[in-house]
Amino acid sequence: MTNPFLSKFNTPFNSIPFDKLKVEHFLPAIEEGINQGLSEIDLIIQNTESPTFENTIEALEKVGSLLDLVSTTFYNLNSAETSKDMQVLAKEISPKLSDYSNDIILNDHLFKRIELVYEEKEKLVLSPEQITLLEKTYKSFKRNGSKLNTDEKEQLRAIDKELSQLTLAFSENVLTENNSYELVITNRNDLSGLPEGIIEAAKITAKEKGKENAWVFTLDFPSYGPFMMYSDNRLLKEQLFKAYGSKAFKNNEYDNQIIIKRIVELRHSRAVLLGYKSHADFVLEERMAEFPTKVMSFLQNLLDYALPSAKEELKELTNYSKLLGGPDELKKWDVPYYSEKLKKEKFSIDDELLRPYFKLENVIEGVFTSAKKLYGLSFIKRSDIPIYHKDVTTYEVKNENNEFVALFYADFFPRAGKRQGAWMTSYINQKVENGNNIRPHVSIVCNFTKPTESKPSLLTFNEVTTLFHEFGHALHGMCANGQYGSITGTNVYWDFVELPSQIMENWCYEKECLDLFAKHYETGNSIPSEYIQKIIDSSNFQSGLATIRQIGLATLDMAWHSQEPSSDKSVKEFEQQVITKTDLISPVSETCTSCSFSHIFSGGYSSGYYSYKWAEVLDADAFEAFKEKGIFNKEVAHAFYKNILSAGGSEHPAILYKRFRGRDADPKALLRRAGLVEKTMIKTCN
């Protein structure tokens, strides 16, 4: 049987032949990729010529192309379309990749060549992008153990191998717990308050699970979120909330508490072994924020503004619930319900009023039209590109000169094999190879409201902003135009990577953009102007509570990773102590955020969750440039495209941002947009 990875792809744009891939193809291709990569390393080391940028740094950049393709494809599928066989295989592949990476990073002969080139960098004639690649390569080796002694290198190998297995186990436990829960309702009265579309979707879910005369709600957010927001049944909301918040926190075989403690312990030990005070110190050395103290100062300054607003918002919500005969003290499962009612009363708007205007296909067309107006990109649907699931749609992306820019995969609906949340990823990164500009293949994966028998997929406004957000990441990947794949597209500092995504959300609040796509799915009528105004007016509703929630999560992340691990406290005790300042509602003993906090324990955001708020400063300031000259202004769009989207990580993000904006970002922009303070009452937050 031919392994598709080990022969030439006979597909449009050399796209991955998903229709021919089987689970058993991955391991042989991984092993062949490892062998090829190590052979390519040997050729660099054995080169008898003196080390140069070309024969060492550029040569290293080209190492392992097969392995990159196979491993990227495997892990992308393991997130979007996994299976028991994939999960078993991941446990075998992960340590092999960890060993391979360390075989390169800890190779003394290779590092010596890199070091010699680095020491001569002042004498070399290099472009800014080449300087970035040289510095990144040298630092990557130095920061990951190249200067350790033999015993220390063996310790590092053991730590990395165990970490690779633990982060996989964490993710699998969360997915298993998420998929195993069902709230089965058989009494129609228990559906009181729920919109008909949500009830219909629950009936379809019940049928899919073989349950007749029932409605099933799951922990997938398109099911969980509306139930918490609209159900009149407080007891069922409590039950569902506790199920959602207790994922991997039940002292069963899928419990993540021991895994968390071990991950934190290993990360700290690794950082100390490499000469750093903590994992956060190690991570932040290669971030815009630089130091844990700077991150904590940034978060504290935001908290100083947000906390008073949050307390007032909670007080208002509590008083409102009492007026409706609700509880004297709000519990966490009460907040979405009364918040939605209060929002509707204050602004005459809610998700169900807006849903008919946000048919998924129309929103997709709207985001495509926005990209065309801003950057001249066109998206042509293709039916001849192999896909990994029937729900996936593919598009050929072209520029104004009708040139191929990228291949774009879109995967929107929940299913058992897909992890929660929404994300963008790449299968093939942009780079220049043998004079050819290899264009990227990128994907966005979401968990949106599914179509029902009577209605198409109608999105909540939050889902609309999520689509624009992930599409912003996709644009960053698609528009990449550098020389080296490791520093193009989204390969940038982690606290800069959210700028292209978060700035796109701003267009969702603009009439000029909403008029492009927000049309009633039945009548075709455009969304009324008064609805758009309500969206704008309500955009800062409970912004204080939303802000302190993000600050709380970022603070929890930093607490886990910026100090020596605590051995005397349980995961729950540690978490509760950390979030006391930002958790204004009584804690729920059965729940623990850390146990399903996939961003920081399996998703690459450890010591980086603050990045969302950090990048909000950048995106608020950057969008003001569009607002000043028009949200589809070509001049501003070209500057953003040239200096941010296409530049990738070719230079330090502070340099790129300043080149776009003409100055550093104004931290006041975020506070202005959030409405947390008046323009005249702002202090800096960096």
Instruction: Spell 140-161 as b/e; 16+ CB within 10 A means b.
Output: ebbbbbbbbeeeebeebbebbb
d(CA 501, CA 593): 25
User: Which segments within 399-471 are labelled E, that is strand?
Assistant: 404-411, 423-428, 431-433, 436-438, 441-445
- Please report where in the chains the tokens 């502070």 appear, as a residue: 654
What are the backbone angles phi and psi of residue 519, rounded to the nearest 5°? -130, 140
The strand pair at 423-428 and 404-411 is best described as unpaired
Q: What are the residues whose beta carbons fall under 8 Å from the beta carbon of 323, sequence distance 6 or more?
A: none
- Please report where in the chains the tokens 């053991």 appear, as a residue: 158
336-340: long-range pairs with CB below 8 Å, 24+? 336/225, 336/228, 336/229, 337/228, 337/229, 337/230, 337/231, 337/237, 339/229, 339/542, 340/229, 340/230
Task: Select which of 40, 470, 505, 651 is catalytic.
Answer: 470
d(CA 144, CA 270): 9
Phi-psi region of 4 (alpha: psi -120 to 50; beta: other; left: phi over 0): alpha
Q: Which helix (H) or strand (E) holds 372?
A: helix 360-375
d(CA 266, CA 277): 13
- The Cβ of residue 120 has, within 10 Å, a number of other Cβ atoms equal to 14
470 is catalytic: yes
Task: Go through the chain and tell me how many residues it has.
Answer: 686
User: Which segments of 479-570 does DSSP mark as H helices, in order?
Assistant: 499-505, 511-517, 529-537, 543-561
d(CA 396, CA 379): 6
d(CA 154, CA 157): 5
d(CA 577, CA 554): 14
Residue 397 in 3-state DSSP?
strand
Structure token pair of residue 312? 């007032």
d(CA 517, CA 520): 9
d(CA 164, CA 157): 11
Q: Which DSSP letter does residue 256 get?
A: -
User: Which segments within 556-628 are labelled E, that is strand?
Assistant: none
Smallest CA-to-CA distance from 64 within 47, 42, 79 is with: 42
AA identity, residue 593: T
Active site residues: 470
